[in-house]
């Protein structure tokens, strides 16, 4: 269905007008633009008159020509960039981004934890709106939940805001994100930076399948069940890499935004706030989502923080005064139906005829406001790309310094004392290091004292078993780099020379575990690995060429090693464990085995907390071993 929308009331410049405007007066509105960098916000008016349609996802998809024309216009502007070399262009836009010093200045002057651009953007949201509801402050108890949140800069910004404003509230927070410790998650989708996550692990929820994927309905249900007390604030900052199809960014993220929104509505207390990142607003999916939010919240605003790059489409929807779940109660089952099936079918959330026309007029105006600013910025960048000069460079620097200082003054930034930080005992900003100590081989063997690697004599308390989605292939691993190159060759297998050598010498007294039999999925392989150890009656073990890529395998090794006094790694890819007292760890492995029997449909993804595996010596040991195997495979 195509329904035209009158554009008479909206002042709109076409691409041609824009180009003319920019080239006539190049310095046109520079100072004005900088002044307005921090004023990009618009509220929806009169949303109390917007009524919720009585059904959802019933009628076929629709589009509105005026919105679609704008989409074409924006894409036409973006396509002007195709003529430039991507790397040169990114360097140029980064150089010309007026907000690009903000993060650096904030970091240098106030040393907050985990300062990123996201930190600066959310800090602006906090300072510009009553995102923390007044009722929460009055009651002295504030709760928040953060969806799609790794690495966690929103949480850090919120903590900094509460502490520096001296808000007298007891704050509890939780968060969700694609789990960087689920090796079935692809690294392209995730942010692996776990500086905050690893120190606040108990606050993070990865759902019933342990992937952390908020678009899976099972994880939504699990989350809503586990968060017993509804929260005052939900943030949702999810995004998906759309660089291969930038013209359709909105369609790529629509399902994620819908899932984030439904989860927020299920988690919020009446009176609560919701902050959602979106991009453009041209498609039926975003139009309906914004309509839904306008019906559910007393006030809805769109905000592009000054610290957000002017050349991109990202804006934050700031929703305040949640009216409570009863507002959507009647259509909730139908609203949830795509969530349950895992995708949108060919239907729009609402019938276009049931959406208040005033809302559509306002939205068109709002959408054009942000789009116009984005187009102006892109064209400005193009003009300067062609006419770059030394003089211009100096000016850009001055503008960036001015903008960063303005940010700091406008939002009255202050430092907070260390004891008020999320992780008071450590400087997590400095803590992200990939430096791994190399192991030394003497006469082809590296020897480790087990008590320097692991906690000896572990009790059942060490266990933190996590079940979840079985995965067939390891897509990411904390324990090695260059994962795709870990393609293990035959020499490690039972007919290979290394295995034969080891088997001849030690086979009679040791349990040998190798990559021998082909396995259908990584899950099967891990289970087999565990059961070989669990059923072993021998006191010696040889691990021959098995890469320890997952939290599960590393966890099993962690516990196994704890009953030996020494670990030897042979330069040809073999871990040797001799004379262990397996009785010491029998109760621990028996508990894991019980879980295997009780949950045949799930995988065991972790048996000890990841933090334990990242303790330096053990991590170095595993990393070096995997690197050795990588090297051997290349030879
Ligand atoms: C822009 S980052 C969030 C930054 C965060 N707000 C901060 O301040 O540090 C987007 C995050 O969304 C996560 N994400 C993307 N798709 C997701 C999904 N389906 N479920 C859960 N998290 C997802 C990504 O892994 C990434 O960590």
Residue 308 in tokens: 């957000």
Which residue is associated with the tokens 């972790």? 606
Which residue is associated with the tokens 């082809």? 444
Q: Which of 464, 462, 448, 428 is nearest to 568 (CA)?
A: 448
Instruction: Render pLDDT for 133-170 as a digit per residue (tens, 0 to 9).
Output: 999 999 999 999 999 999 999 999 999 999 999 999 99
Q: Which of 47-61, 124-138, 374-388, 420-434 has the lowest mean pLDDT?
A: 420-434
pLDDT at 246: 84
- Beta-strand relationship, 574-577 and 540-544: antiparallel
84's CB contacts (< 8 A; 6+ apart) are: 385
DSSP H/E element including 161: helix 153-164
Alpha helices (runs of H) in 165-234, residue ranges in sequence order: 217-226
Residue 7 pLDDT class (50, 70, 90 cuts): very low
Q: Which of 234-243, 494-503, 561-570 has the lowest mean pLDDT?
A: 494-503
Whose C-alpha lies nearest to ligand 1, atom 3?
A: 149
Q: How far apart are CA 160 and CA 144, in angstroms?
A: 14
pLDDT at 493: 55
Residue 319 pLDDT class (50, 70, 90 cuts): very high
Radius of gyration of the chain (CA): 28
Helix (H, G, I), strand (E, B) or coil at 191: coil
CB 173 within 8 A of CB 412: no
Return left, alpha or beta for 46; rule: phi > 0 is left, psi -120 to 50 is alpha, else beta: left
Closest atom of ligand 1 relative to the 215 alpha carbon: 19
Closest atom of ligand 1 relative to the 154 alpha carbon: 8
pLDDT at 630: 84
CB 105 within 8 A of CB 407: yes
Instruction: Render pLDDT for 280-318 as a digit per residue (tens, 0 to 9).
Output: 999 999 999 999 999 999 999 999 999 999 999 999 999
The better pLDDT of the pair 489, 427 is held by 427
Q: Which of 180, 238, 242, 263 to mutate to test the pocket of ligand 1 (most atoms within 8 A of CB)?
A: 238
Catalytic residue among 209, 237, 351, 380: 237
121 is catalytic: yes
Q: 149 CA distance to ligand 1 centroid (A)?
A: 5
- Asked whether residue 403 carries a pLDDT value surpassing 70, the answer given is yes
Closest atom of ligand 1 relative to the 214 alpha carbon: 20
Which residue is associated with the tokens 């949480």? 155
CB 470 within 8 A of CB 603: yes
Q: How far apart are CA 216 and CA 26, in angstroms?
A: 49
SS percent in the chain: helix, strand, coil, step 5? 50, 15, 40
Q: Which of 372, 476, 86, 77 is nearest to 243 (CA)?
A: 86
Q: How far apart are CA 343 and CA 215, in angstroms?
A: 9
pLDDT at 236: 98
Burial class (CB in 10 A: 0-12, 13-18, 19+), 353: exposed
pLDDT at 497: 65
Q: Which of 131, 189, 191, 188 is nearest to 161 (CA)?
A: 131
* Mean pLDDT, range 352-377, rounded to an integer: 97
pLDDT at 504: 76
CB 271 within 8 A of CB 135: yes
Q: Which residues pair with 540 in a beta bridge?
A: 510
Which residue is associated with the tokens 């504030």? 142
pLDDT at 429: 76
Question: Global pTM?
Answer: 0.90
Return left, alpha or beta for 335; rule: phi > 0 is left, psi -120 to 50 is alpha, else beta: alpha
Around 357, how many Cα atoms within 13 Å sit in the side-chain half-sphere?
6
Helix (H, G, I), strand (E, B) or coil at 430: helix
Q: How far is CA 148 from CA 81, 206, 232, 237, 462, in A?
A: 30, 10, 17, 6, 29
Is the Cα torsion angle 529, 532, 538, 544 positive or negative in sign?
negative
- Asked whether residue 484 carries a pLDDT value surpassing 50, the answer given is no
Closest atom of ligand 1 relative to the 191 alpha carbon: 27
Q: How far apart are CA 175 and CA 421, in angstroms?
A: 17
- Beta-strand relationship, 204-205 and 170-176: parallel
* Mean pLDDT, range 198-226, rounded to an integer: 96
Residue 621 in tokens: 């040991």
Q: Which of 263, 277, 237, 283 is nearest to 336 (CA)?
A: 263
Q: 273 CA distance to ligand 1 centroid (A)?
A: 19
pLDDT at 502: 67
Catalytic residue among 121, 216, 421, 493: 121
Residues with CB under 6 A from ligand 1: 116, 118, 148-154, 176-178, 189-191, 212-215, 237-240, 256
Q: How far apart are CA 304 and CA 194, in angstroms?
A: 27
Q: Which of 146, 158, 178, 260 to mutate to test the pocket of ligand 1 (most atoms within 8 A of CB)?
A: 178
- Asked whether residue 89 carries a pLDDT value surpassing 70, the answer given is yes
CB 552 within 8 A of CB 532: no
Burial class (CB in 10 A: 0-12, 13-18, 19+), 249: buried
The better pLDDT of the pair 286, 614 is held by 286
CB 257 within 8 A of CB 238: yes
Q: What is the DSSP string of 541-566?
A: EEEES----SHHHHHHHHHHHTT-SE
Q: 148 CA distance to ligand 1 centroid (A)?
A: 4
Catalytic residue among 277, 304, 491, 493: 277
Q: Which of 152, 191, 257 to mutate to test the pocket of ligand 1 (most atoms within 8 A of CB)?
A: 191
277 is catalytic: yes
DSSP code at position 438:
P
Q: 173 CA distance to ligand 1 centroid (A)?
A: 16
Whether the bond between 51 and the residue before it is cis, its omega within 30 degrees of 0, is no
* Mean pLDDT, range 603-616, rounded to an integer: 89
Closest atom of ligand 1 relative to the 156 alpha carbon: 8
Q: 337 CA distance to ligand 1 centroid (A)?
A: 23
* Mean pLDDT, range 624-634, rounded to an integer: 86
Q: What is the DSSP string of 504-521?
A: HHHTTTEEEEES-S--SS
Closest atom of ligand 1 relative to the 259 alpha carbon: 19
- Asked whether residue 486 carries a pLDDT value surpassing 50, the answer given is no
Q: 249 CA distance to ligand 1 centroid (A)?
A: 16
Q: Domains of the chain by range and CATH?
A: 15-177+212-413 (3.40.50.12760), 436-634 (no CATH)
Whose C-alpha lies nearest to ligand 1, atom 19?
A: 213
DSSP H/E element including 204: strand 204-205
Average pLDDT of the chain is 89
Question: Percent of the chain scored above 70 by pLDDT?
Answer: 89
- Asked whether residue 41 carries a pLDDT value surpassing 80, the answer given is yes
Q: Which of 235, 237, 305 to mutate to test the pocket of ligand 1 (most atoms within 8 A of CB)?
A: 237
Q: How far apart are CA 110 and CA 126, in angstroms?
A: 17
Q: What is the DSSP string of 76-103?
A: HHHHGGGGS-HHHHHHHHHHH-TTTTHH
Whose C-alpha lies nearest to ligand 1, atom 6?
A: 149
Of these ranges, 338-352, 383-397, 440-454, the one predicted with the greatest mean pLDDT is 338-352
Q: Which of 373, 429, 529 is nearest to 18 (CA)?
A: 373
- Asked whether residue 389 carries a pLDDT value surpassing 80, the answer given is no
Whose C-alpha lies nearest to ligand 1, atom 13?
A: 148
pLDDT at 201: 92
Q: How far is CA 389 from CA 10, 93, 383, 395, in A?
A: 37, 15, 12, 10
- Asked whether residue 3 carries a pLDDT value surpassing 60, the answer given is no
The better pLDDT of the pair 125, 7 is held by 125
Q: 205 CA distance to ligand 1 centroid (A)?
A: 13
Closest atom of ligand 1 relative to the 122 alpha carbon: 8
Q: 189 CA distance to ligand 1 centroid (A)?
A: 8
Closest atom of ligand 1 relative to the 189 alpha carbon: 25
395 is catalytic: no
Query: Phi and psi of 100, rounded to 5°?
Result: -75, -10
Q: 561 CA distance to ligand 1 centroid (A)?
A: 35
Query: Phi and psi of 517, rounded to 5°?
Result: -80, 140
The better pLDDT of the pair 392, 246 is held by 246
Provide the 10 A C-beta neighbour count for residue 391: 8
Q: How far apart are CA 396 and CA 78, in angstroms?
A: 23
Whose C-alpha lies nearest to ligand 1, atom 25?
A: 190
* Mean pLDDT, range 100-124, rounded to an integer: 97
The counts of H helices and E strands in the chain are: 21, 15
Whose C-alpha lies nearest to ligand 1, atom 8?
A: 153
Q: Which of 148, 206, 274 to mutate to test the pocket of ligand 1 (most atoms within 8 A of CB)?
A: 148
Closest atom of ligand 1 relative to the 121 alpha carbon: 8
Q: How far apart are CA 327 and CA 205, in angstroms?
A: 27
Q: 628 CA distance to ligand 1 centroid (A)?
A: 33
Helix (H, G, I), strand (E, B) or coil at 578: coil
Residue 2 pLDDT class (50, 70, 90 cuts): very low
Residue 16 pLDDT class (50, 70, 90 cuts): low
Q: 150 CA distance to ligand 1 centroid (A)?
A: 5
Residue 499 pLDDT class (50, 70, 90 cuts): low
């Amino acid at each position: 269905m195509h329904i035209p929308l009158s554009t008479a009331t909206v002042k709109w410049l076409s691409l041609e007008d824009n180009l003319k405007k920019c080239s006539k007066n190049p310095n046109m509105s520079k100072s004005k633009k900088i002044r307005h960098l921090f004023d990009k916000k618009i509220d929806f008016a009169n949303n109390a008159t917007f009524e919720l349609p009585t059904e959802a996802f019933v009628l076929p998809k629709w589009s509105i020509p005026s919105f679609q024309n704008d989409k074409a216009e924006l894409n036409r502007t973006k396509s002007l960039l195709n003529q430039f070399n991507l790397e040169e262009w990114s360097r140029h836009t980064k150089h010309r981004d007026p907000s690009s010093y903000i993060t650096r200045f904030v970091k240098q002057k106030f040393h907050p934890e985990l300062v990123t651009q996201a930190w600066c953007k959310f800090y602006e949201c906090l300072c510009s709106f009553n995102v923390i509801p007044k009722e929460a402050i009055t009651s002295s108890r504030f709760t928040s939940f953060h969806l799609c949140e790794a690495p966690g800069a929103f949480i850090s910004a919120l903590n900094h805001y509460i502490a520096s404003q001296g808000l007298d509230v007891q704050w509890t927070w939780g968060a969700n994100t694609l789990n960087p410790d689920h090796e079935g998650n692809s690294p392209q989708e995730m942010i692996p930076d776990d500086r905050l996550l690893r120190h606040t692990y108990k606050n993070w929820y990865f759902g019933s399948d342990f992937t952390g994927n908020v678009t899976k309905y099972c994880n939504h249900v699990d989350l809503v069940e586990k968060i017993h007390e509804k929260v005052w604030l939900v943030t949702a900052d999810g995004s998906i890499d759309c660089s291969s199809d930038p013209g359709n960014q909105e369609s790529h993220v629509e399902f994620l935004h819908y899932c984030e929104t439904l989860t927020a509505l299920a988690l919020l207390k009446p009176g609560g706030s919701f902050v959602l990142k979106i991009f453009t607003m041209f498609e039926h999916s975003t139009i309906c989502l914004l309509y839904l939010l306008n019906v559910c919240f007393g006030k809805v605003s769109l905000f592009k923080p000054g610290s957000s790059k002017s050349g991109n489409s990202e804006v934050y929807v700031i929703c305040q005064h949640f009216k409570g779940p009863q507002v959507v109660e009647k259509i909730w089952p139908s609203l949830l139906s795509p969530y349950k099936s895992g995708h949108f079918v060919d239907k729009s959330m609402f019938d276009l005829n049931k959406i208040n026309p005033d809302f559509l007029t306002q939205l068109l105006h709002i959408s054009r406001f942000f789009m116009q600013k984005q187009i102006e910025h892109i064209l400005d960048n193009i003009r300067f790309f062609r006419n770059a000069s030394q003089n211009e460079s100096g000016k850009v620097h001055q503008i960036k310094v001015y903008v960063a200082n303005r940010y700091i003054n406008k939002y009255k930034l202050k430092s907070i004392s260390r004891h008020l930080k999320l992780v008071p005992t450590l400087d997590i900003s400095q803590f992200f290091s990939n430096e791994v100590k190399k192991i030394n081989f003497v006469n082809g063997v590296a020897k480790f004292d087990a008590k320097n690697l692991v906690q000896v004599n572990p009790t059942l308390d060490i266990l933190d078993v996590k079940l979840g989605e079985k995965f067939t292939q390891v897509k990411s691993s904390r324990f090695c780099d260059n994962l795709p190159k870990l393609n293990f060759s035959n020499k490690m297998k039972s007919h290979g020379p290394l295995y034969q050598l080891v088997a001849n010498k030690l086979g009679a007294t040791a349990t040998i575990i190798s990559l021998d039999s082909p396995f259908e999925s990584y899950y099967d392989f891990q289970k087999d690995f565990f059961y070989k150890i669990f059923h072993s009656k021998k006191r010696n073990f040889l691990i021959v060429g098995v890469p320890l890529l997952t939290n599960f395998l590393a966890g099993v090794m962690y516990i196994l090693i704890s009953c030996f006094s020494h670990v030897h790694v042979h330069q040809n890819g073999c871990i040797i464990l001799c004379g262990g007292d397996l009785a010491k760890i029998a109760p621990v492995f028996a508990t894991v085995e019980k879980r295997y029997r009780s949950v045949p449909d799930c995988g065991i993804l972790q048996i000890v907390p990841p933090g334990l595996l990242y303790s330096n010596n053990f991590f170095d040991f595993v990393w070096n071993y995997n690197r050795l195997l990588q090297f051997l495979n290349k030879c």
